[in-house]
Structure 1
């Protein structure tokens, strides 16, 4: 995705040359970043057959297309590829009305969403039904066009819910950005820039996952606040003024002097900041929430009949989460996309206990705690209760697991690493391009499948490791982190010591001894069985291909993915995305031993969960590099970060087993591969 700051250039006259220094002043980016972004911009322009950016006499020239097609260039998709779901259409109709500065008609909605008049009329009818349950209305008059009626507070809360629900998809982000660009090509960029400046200047710690929805919500509220103001009662005024976030709100809004009632909006934006800001122990105005956190912990200890050993750490962790939760619940900023039912399923007993233990917060708020919020507290307590079971724990480190696509390879790594290092918290898993959005205070070390430039201690690991690689990693991590000054001998060292004194039986290899010792020495994690499909349910006969054709690596990926496309599980765009990932990030899909795991993100074109396998007779050189010769391509189409985990776990076991791997690489037919898959599931 092109950096949002490049949008400052589309507001400038085209056909005029700019030096790198001038672009630095316009965008606020460094020369190095600008050159990188220009390269990406030209890639997109060439991809869509638009006139590229060009250099002439030390100046850079942009064509009119850069301005006209900015959304396509920014998101890397043609507008004809954007399709809104019914839910997204209704949300965008509401939000367009929310910020309208002109009379809106059905035609305006129809033109914006590129759908028929009947579709818009049906959407408006359903939207009105939804809004009526919130005591809101989408009204229409010939004089004023479409407009919203109801309490301004509720109108804004509904806008927040709409944005939170659609911002998770490319089409949703496209629509949100397009809606703002109807009024200003650089407004969203300004809001983003001022938001990050404010966060940095006021040393606020923001929950990373909430940043996107908050920036869009702020942008839409700022447009609306030019005409409609929010009113806060006087009692709340006093409370908000005491918060550190109030000065942040004042600083932020000084950049937007045109809004109707600056003081009232200062209070409102303070609320917005507080719903996404981690609790700050130095903020004396929040002491009552620190006391509430203490009461909740004691309630949980009583109800669960346990004693939390790391009480102060838990108190701070709970307080950090309690602060934004308190403001979200109190002012109805509901959470979106929370897997509440899944949390109840996995942590049923803890969920019930947590809901009861939150009684002090319920009393403080004077209202019930929504299940979505209870779910987050449940995860926090569930993790801490799990920690209680760990004996002789010296320290618990937080690790960040990184992968270019953040879906399968990172999850394989996460599964492997959890088993190797049960005293390290591997709950934080994300993509490489999201690294900068995560505060360094959130993690201690990084496990990555690609090289990184970071001051944090980083371990470069393959998604699937051999036993020797696991042993070496265990030793390195032990030396660096787990037991300073005391190093437990690695498994290979133990075996090397024993071998001169023992005689190996027939068919017993070092690798086999490694595996047996590893099982004994490493604590096994108990994973609850669920409804996720098994590997054999995904890699069926129609999903497995063998060929003696000589293929280029791009052809091999496309060939391997063909069964998924034939059955409608993926689109052609997903195949292109898998290939592009390799071009962008290198041979990261090579997970070792001649196995490649091509994949991209769900939003790149996955319709249904699936896996397909291609075995080639003649090895394919990934990126034409002899170091990456591939015999088996296994394409993964993941719909989310969960459903394919059981299948990947089985695959990991098969590929980690030397004997099974050799059999797989030597397989001559589909039946042999299927048999190996089934055997692997029982390992």
Structure 2
């Protein structure tokens, strides 16, 4: 029975597990069904039986584990696997073929691919079609010549980019453990020493952080180290890069160029080779596109950077308009977003590849935030003259999502936690926001990189880490940066388990404290005191389950009672008052909220006019919102929010939001409705409320 990619990963997980591995954990980590989990476990058991080893065991139906004999024997056995015993997926085969094409310095033929992947000629032919497609995306072509075999033709920088993609996919994907052993020998030099040990490369990169005055993310250091491996691999085959003179001139003026020169000097010293200015500029481009945890560099004065700062401000403005929220700490948000958007800009400008394994999770768990981000980023897309890919959009959405959660956090805390995250600011902050909402009595004191955590001491009670981490005395839980409902339940159960585990020194109970207090004083209300002591000593999470809160849909908010028609209003102030009247009557808002909406327009201008003829007045939740609500006013005659034609409004939708998120689903449905011209014609021409209600219902799903 052959082991495939997923079952090999699961077997490796069972070998290293110090506790039971549950089906739910496997389902969450691999994104597969319960049926598939049992199927993979059966494949593992068949393979173990073939090798005369004890199979997986289960304990009271709670989870699975491997007998100690199996744990000891399997690692050596897996190293000795014959090629035919490991079944490569198509993605793995394509990766192997791609790396073979771009690292071999002699002709590569069909037979080489067959031998490497251990599949039939027909299967390899199908795989080559996919390889050709991937190469074409990088403006590269796969050619075949009878004497030379298969050859990749195109610009050297494009070859490096796709080779980096192939290698990064393997070395950063923990499910491809077996592939790593195959890949290492393919990227070694002629003398037999390998570049695959990334530690020296990582050290070279970390040494230039003081020059850049930044702290690079742990994940970025890993990817940059791979980039250096690729560079050395290509130079080994005398494949030199040639950049556009204007590009070289631009990047040579940056601080990253000085850091790249230091990297080049170290590579020349360690590997006895010479790097041209073009190669140094190529390294500079990778550094410019690198994500950071923080930066001390002042970038005032650079025209390109100043333009980027204005773009950041415009994006935040657009996001606020589309989300109908107002960020309180605007300047702080601008600085944080600029720190992220700067490398994003350079990655796209210089075609530096990036991947975001959280993109699918962000789109699933935060669909409205992702959608609003996609609409709000047009200023950076205009600056770059290209659309942002979904992976970059997801990173930006994570920043906005984290900030929206951050502004809602408050309350008294008991117990402290720290987040260890190697993926950067946006990822760690969105996890922090989720944890603070979930564990209301646990103070998250900060988010740190893996390097920071290992080099410092933190006074905390809990550690949450986005990658496996061991600590000699503190409890550690590995979590996904984007928490699903199942993930949240796991955290709550873990917290309760940690709190219920007895310490070396047993804590006093409420009853013991009561008896001591009686000895030395008079208690006037024993029952109430005992209740408070019981609450103080209770677990920090009040419940072991999470209430599933559904965001209201558009037809929950816009209905017979909240839709109005009017011929005209005296001015825009009266229009807002009239439009808000249904919400005021139902006591969903107070009169102070109406005053706040009017003041916002007076202070900020007609920002509430989101499109010609349409305005969505709103203010902050704390300015008078009792429950989430929305009301619609359709006017026969336009009202002026300014002297400009684009600020003449016939349709007002007042939004009352209780926080930064609850209203987003209904708002997204409203945006979809208003984006169709025929829908606006129907609203403007409607004679009865039911005509609009029918339209609202159509978009409420």
Q: Give the structure-1-normalised TM-score.
A: 0.51
* 1:364 is aligned to 2:383: yes
1:158-237, aligned counterparts within 5 Å?
Answer: 158-167=162-171, 168=173, 169-181=176-188, 183-188=190-195, 192-203=199-210, 204-226=214-236, 227-237=238-248
> Per the alignment, do residues 259 and 385 of structure 1 end up closer, same or farther by CA in structure 2, a change over 3 Å counting?
same
Please state if 1:88 is matched with 2:95.
no
SS across alignment from 2:263 = helix
Specify the alignment match of 2:355 in structure 1: 336
1:78 matches 2:80: yes
Q: Report deviation, 1:267.
A: 1.0
Asked if 2 retains the 8 angstrom alpha-carbon contact of 1:400 and 1:446, the reply is: no
Q: Is contact 2:201-2:228 (8 Å) kept?
A: no
- CA pair 443-269 structure 1, distance change in 2 beyond 3 A: farther
Say whether residues 1:292 and 2:334 are aligned partners.
no
Summarize the Cα distance change of 1:399–1:214 in structure 2 as closer, same or farther, 3 Å threshold. same
**3-state SS of paired residue (2:462):** strand
Q: How does 1:231-310 map to 2 (within 5 A)?
A: 231-257=242-268, 262-278=276-292, 280-284=295-299, 286-310=305-329
Q: Within 5 Å, give how 1:419-458 maps onto structure 2.
A: 419-421=438-440, 424-425=443-444, 435-436=450-451, 447-448=462-463, 452=471
SS at match of 2:345: helix
Contact kept? 1:398, 1:445, Cα under 8 Å: yes
Q: In structure 1, what is the Cα distance between the partners aligned to 2:77 and 2:288?
A: 30
Instruction: Note closer, same or farther for the CA distance 1:418–1:89 as it changes in structure 2 (3 Å cut).
Output: same
CA contact (8 A) 1:165 1:337 kept: no
Greater Rg by CA: 2
SS in structure 2 of the partner of residue 390 of structure 1: coil
Q: How does 1:505-544 map to 2 (within 5 A)?
A: 514=535
User: Aligned partners of 1:413 and 1:362: how far apart in 2?
Assistant: 29
Give 1:354 shift: 1.7
Specify whether residues 273 and 389 from structure 1 end up closer, same or farther in structure 2 by C-alpha distance, changes over 3 A only: same
1:140 and 2:144 matched = yes
CA contact (8 A) 1:163 1:217 kept: no
In structure 1, stretches of 5+ residues that fail to align are 1-47, 49-71, 403-411, 474-489, 531-683
Structure 1 residue 453 displacement after superposition: 6.5
**TM-score of the superposition, structure 2-length normalised?**
0.50
Q: How many residues align?
A: 426
| C-alpha deviation, 1:266, in angstroms | 0.8
Q: 1:155 to 1:181 in 2, by over 3 A?
A: closer
Residues 5-30 of structure 1: CA distance to partner in whole angstroms, max 9, x if unpaired? xxxxxxxxxxxxxxxxxxxxxxxxxx
Structure 1 match to 2:494:
464
Q: Is the 8 A contact 2:510 2:533 kept in 1?
A: no
In the alignment, which residue of structure 2 is the partner of 1:157? 161
- After superposition, the Cα gap between the structure-2 partners of 1:366 and 1:381, relative to the gap in structure 1 and judged at 3 Å, is same
Confirm or deny: 8 A CA contact 1:419 1:524 kept in the other structure.
no
Q: Compared with structure 1, are the counterparts of its residues 517 and 400 closer, same or farther at alpha carbon in structure 2 (3 Å cutoff)?
A: closer
The CA deviation at 1:154 is 2.8
CA distance in 2, matches of 1:494, 1:447: 26
Contact preservation (8 Å) 1:399, 1:428: yes
Question: In the alignment, does 2:108 pair up with 1:98?
Answer: no
Pick one of 306, 320, 338 that aligns with 2:339.
320
Q: 1:201 to 1:413 in 2, by over 3 A?
A: closer
Q: In 2, Cα distance between the equivalents of 1:303 and 1:393? A: 33
Deviations 1:544-577 (A, max 9, x none): xxxxxxxxxxxxxxxxxxxxxxxxxxxxxxxxxx
The question of 1:389 aligning with 2:389 is answered no
Q: Could you say what the CA RMSD is over the residues aligned between the two structures, in angstroms?
A: 5.1
- Inter-CA distance 73–138: structure 2 relative to 1 (3 Å threshold): farther
Give the Cα separation in 2 of the matches to 1:416 and 1:129. Answer: 41
Q: Which secondary structure state, in structure 2, belongs to the residue aligned with residue 306 of structure 1?
A: coil
SS for the counterpart of 2:326 is coil
1:519-668 equivalence runs, <5 A: none
Deviation, 1:265, is 1.0
Q: By how many angstroms is 1:87 displaced?
A: 1.1
- Secondary structure at the aligned position of 1:247 is classed as helix
Aligned-residue offset at 1:361: 1.6
| Structure 1 residue 378 displacement after superposition | 0.8
Between 434-443 and 417-426, report the one with greater CA deviation.
434-443
For 2:334 and 2:510, the matched residues in 1 are separated by: 39
Q: Is the 8 A contact 1:244 1:283 kept in 2?
A: no
| Residues in 1 aligned to 2:87 and 2:78: alpha-carbon distance in whole angstroms | 15
**Offset, 1:129:** 4.2
| C-alpha distance 465-304 of structure 1, shift in aligned 2 (>3 A) | closer
- Separation in structure 1 between the aligned mates of residue 498 and residue 169 of structure 2, nearest angstrom: 45
Determine the C-alpha separation between the residues in 1 that align with 2:414 and 2:311.
Answer: 27
Secondary structure (helix, strand or coil) at the match of 2:289 reads: helix
Query: What pairs with 1:49-60 in structure 2 (closer than 5 Å)?
Result: none
CA distance in 1, matches of 2:198, 2:539: 52
193-202 vs 265-274, which moves further? 193-202
